[in-house]
Every structure is written in structure tokens, then in C-alpha cells.
Chain A
Amino acid sequence: MQEKLFGKTLEELKALSLNLGLPSFTGRQLCEWLYKKEVSSFEQMTNLSKKARALLSENHELGLQLPVEEQVSVDGTKKYLFTAANGKFIETAYIPDGKRSTVCVSSQVGCKMGCLFCMTGKQGFQGNLTAGEILNQYRSLPERKELTNIVYMGMGEPLDNLSEVLLSLEVLTAEWGFSLSPRRITVSTIGITPAMLEFLNRSEAHLAISLHTPFDEERRKLMPIQQVYPLKEVLKEIRSWDFGRQRRVSFEYILFRDYNDSAAHVNELSRILHGIRCRINLIRFHPIPDTPLESPDESTLEAFRNKLNAKGITTTIRASRGQDIWAACGLLSTKRLQK
């Protein structure tokens, strides 16, 4: 298979040009074509010499690919299926919401983290995505022109594929890349502490941490990572990190009926998050096949939000989007995998 260019950094493209006997400025020209203009072949790169175009297409491929399947929800949310290099499938969700349109990208094929409530977790781990495969979900999204935000909340644990995720963030935000503001990008993690610190050091993007219960004993039953990197260690690091004025940390909290939805949970959340400038995104649990967990009713969800807000923690309910197509939960790709 030929090496793909899409997803490479300016430095990598310069080095690769030199390797082919082309001037190093070809690297910058390639960045222009790959990340600023809409081309789908080397032939369209008209400011490159004929020789350069021929050499590039002999030795490389662009690495762009369109989704192979699409599902549309009644509320406008769409779910796309892309093929990863290993022949497996990944999901990407497009979520329009008034003036805001978000793409939710996957970072791995499957996942190793085994969270009890997650369809991707049930699928097991099939491989890491390259930076190019992560970025292709943004670049080849039919609605790309509408996009205002990117969230790394699809399949996989982004910080378990840290190097490729960091490369993809570099391409998204660099002046020679897509030139996006890091404030439009959120990377979500279940709290792999060492990788989280490296991410905070090496990127400016927002951070979202999956919390799901403030009690250690409960969290370890939902998320095996709690055994290795307990929440209190994660919060200790977050508390001592200077997020500045622009950068945001938020916590994701999936509400499960009669498990993590009591007044005691509100109180404990307020206690452990004390002193951290943050917000909580409440998410209603959508049951996956054979799960022992249940979805809360609307009134519990709202009451939980109101109690947290009353405690001074800005809390919003993430609107249930694309429920009818199970947006970004791994089900579509799991079904495809089983075909």
C-alpha cells in the first residue's frame, strides 16, 4: 500500500518531498492543497510541476476517502461509517444544533477500556487510527462547510492513541494546516492521568473528562480505568493545572436510573469539584443491547441538573440527539463488523 499524505505535518511533508528529490517548499505547497483547498487528486495541484505531480502519484496516495454508509436521524443528526486501514469500520457523527454544528470523530477502531455502558467497549479493540484517518472524518464529512466544532468523543479512548491524536490536533490548528482555533476542539477522556498531562502540555484544545459517578466504589464497577487511575488522582492533576481564561475543562456525566442519580451524588459531586472552574454535561443513558443499566426519566434528569446548578456547578443536559440511529455509540460499526 502507498503511503498516504493526508494527515502529515508540514515537517513530514517537507522531508518526504526532499526524499523524492523535490524542493522542500513542495511540502508547504502540499499543505495548501491538502488542508486549505478542496482537491481530490494530485492532478489538481496545479502549482506543482508535472514532474512533482508524477513523482507524488507514483509513490503516494492522497489518503482521502468518503464515508461508505450513512444514517440520518429524524432530528437531523447523521451517522457516517468510514473504512479504516485494517478493513474495519469507524463511526463519525454529525450533529447540527442551531448555529452550532459539531462533528464527533473516532480515534480508535473499538476500544480497550471496557466501560460497562458502552457499545464500543463491547466491540473490543481492533486498532489505532492514524492522524490521517482521524482527520479524514472531518475533511470528508459531506457537511464539512457547516462545521463549527470538533469533538473527540466517538469510538475509542483518544488518550490511548495519544501520538496520533496530538498529530491530528496539530494539523487542525496549525497555520499551515486547517488553521482552526483550538477553542473549537474538545478531546474527551476517561482519565488516563499520564496521557492527560501530556495532552494538556502539548495541546490547547478543551478537555472533557468522563466522570459518571463521584463515588470510587461505584465508578470502579462502571469503568475499569478507575482501578488504575482513580478519579481523585485525575482531579488532583486538574486542580493544579492552570487552564487560563480560554481553555475549558468539563465533565461528562451519564445518568443511569437508580445508580448515580441521587441527592448524595449531587452533594458528593459538588464536594469533589469544589474549586475547579468547570461545567458538567449531563447525558441521558441510552440502553445498549444486554445492558444491566437503565435510562433515567426526564424529570430525574432535570431535577439532577437543577440541583447541581443550585450548588453553583453550571450543568446542562446534552440534548438526546440521533437516538433513533444510536449516534456515536459503536452500534453501527459493530453490526457491520458482524456481517
Chain B
Amino acid sequence: MVTNDNHQVSPVTLTFTEELSAGIYMIGFKRTFFFRAGQVIGVALQQNGPRRLYSICSGEQDEEIRILYKLVDNGYLTPLLSGLETGDTLWITEPGGEFTGDREPAVWIAAGTGVAPFYSMLRSGLAEQKRVILGNRYLEQFHFFDEFDTLLGENYIRCCTAETDEGAYSGRVTQYLAEQAELDPKLKYYLCGSAEMVVETRDILISKGIPFDRIISEIYF
């Protein structure tokens, strides 16, 4: 989705760039503003250039603001972003959006780069009483493994579709959920990822007795 609204953009200098796994990148710059874990920023290469939205993928107190993105081969912005180096300039909007976490018990469900808002919530001290279910094709794509594993232990579930590993579920997130005997209808369920993933997961949760008003979704459209 191209965003070119009236929101002010300001320049930032990249202080971090890394390809975390094949096609998945992380870039960062010094934090100069406050945000709430789960919020997004608009990112552009020029002041008036086309913008895309990205979840902030760092903690509220971290010194750097980071984003995690997947390179979309035929896309506009991500191929350009992947060529950037530290010292390069990026134009960003103020943080916005209301997909924000709280201290209530909840289940966080994501696929791919949809993990970003939950990692931000985890780094912002909201991991207590949370269960995290993540989906990826390959094992190497479960970024931030150590932090999720240390803080959540058994409540950190990796669903991997193309590789197997001890401790990881083999299959998609939706399959994992469908196989669960019981899901707690009193918990809140936060979903983040592509439209397809969110809609399918929401349908499964509802079919397993979760009231629809306990489900909050963020779609990377």
C-alpha cells in the first residue's frame, strides 16, 4: 500500500543494517521519540517519496528504533531498502496505530515479519502471562529465539513448515491451532501478518469457541 499523506516526515541516519536471514533484513536508527510497543512508522527513501508502513521492532526504552522487513522481489521499497548502508538517510513519519499491547494475559500469533510488534512488546516488558505462537518456513527465520525462549519457555511455540527441529511444531500456525484440544476463551488473541494468515487464523479461533471480540488483528496489507 502506497502512503503519501500529509503526515510530516523527518530524516534519520541509519545506524544499523543487517540481513538476519535470507531475504529478512533489519535496519535501525537512533530513537528520538516515544512510541507504544506495537505501533508502526511510515518509511520512505525521499521526503516526498512513496511510503510503506513498518511495525517498530524494538523496545520502548531501546536506544535504537529498528524495523524488520522481508524483501519483496517485485516490490518498490524493500529492494531499495536492502541496498542501504549505515550512514544513509531514511525519511520516517511519527509512530501511529493502535495495535498496542498491555499487561493482560494474551496469546500473540504471527507469521513471518509479523513477529515485529510482539518482539517490541516483549522488549517493552509485556511478556508476562503471554503465549507466543510464531510461524515460518525455515528454522533460521525464528529471529530473537533466545529472548523469546528465555522469557517464555514452553509458552514460546515455533511452527515451522519446511524444516523439523526438536521443540518446534512441524506445520503451519493454523494447523497447530486447529489441533489444540482447548483454547482459553477468556484470553485475548493478537494476530499479525498477511491478510491470508490473519483471516484463516481468526476463522479457526472462532470455530474453536473464541469470541470474536477477543481477537485483535493487524494486517500487513
Contacts and interface: CB of A to CB of B under 8 A. Distances in A.
Question: Do A and B originate from a single complex?
Answer: yes
Contacts of A122: 199, 203
Interface stretch (A82-90, A168-176, A191-199): A191-199
B98 A113 contact: no
The 5 lowest CB-CB distance pairs between A and B, nearest first, are A194-B5, A112-B221, A112-B195, A227-B99, A194-B3
Contacts of B217: 114, 224, 227
Contacts of A225: 219
Given A160-B221, A220-B98, A197 B199 contact: no
Given A116-B202, A124-B195, A228-B53, A221 B219 contact: no
Interface in B190-212: 194-196, 198-199, 202-203, 206-207, 211-212
Contacts of B199: 114, 121-122, 124
A162 interface: yes
A216 interface: yes
B1 A114 contact: no
A160 B1 contact: yes
Contact of A114 (B7, B96, B98, B195): B195
A224 B1 contact: no
Interface of B: 1-7, 40, 51, 53, 96-99, 194-196, 198-199, 202-203, 206-207, 211-213, 215-219, 221
Interface string A198-239: 100000000000000000101011001111101000000000
Contact of B40 (A113, A228, A293): A228
A284 B1 CA distance: 30
Interface residues of A, number: 30
Contact of B216 (A121, A221, A230, A293): A221
Q: Give the residue among A124, A228, A230, A292 with the most B Cβ atoms within 10 A.
A: A228
A111 B211 CA distance: 23
Contacts of A292: 206, 211-212
A224 B218 contact: yes
A113 B211 contact: no
Contacts of A198: 4-5
A227 B97 contact: yes
Contact of A195 (B3, B97, B98, B196): B3
Interface SS of B by simple majority: mixed
Nearest to B199: A114
Given A224-B217, A228-B218, A292-B212, A197 B196 contact: no
Q: Give the residue among B3, B5, B40, B218 with the most A Cβ atoms within 10 A.
A: B5
Contact of A116 (B2, B195, B212): B212
Contacts of A112: 194-195, 219, 221
Given A112-B195, A225-B219, 15 more contacts: A113-B195, A114-B195, A114-B199, A121-B195, A121-B199, A122-B199, A162-B2, A192-B1, A193-B5, A194-B5, A221-B213, A221-B215, A221-B216, A230-B98, A292-B211
A225 B218 CA distance: 8
A121 B195 CA distance: 8
A162 B203 CA distance: 29
B9 to A, nearest CB: 12
B33 to A, nearest CB: 18
A197 B2 CA distance: 12
Contacts of B194: 112
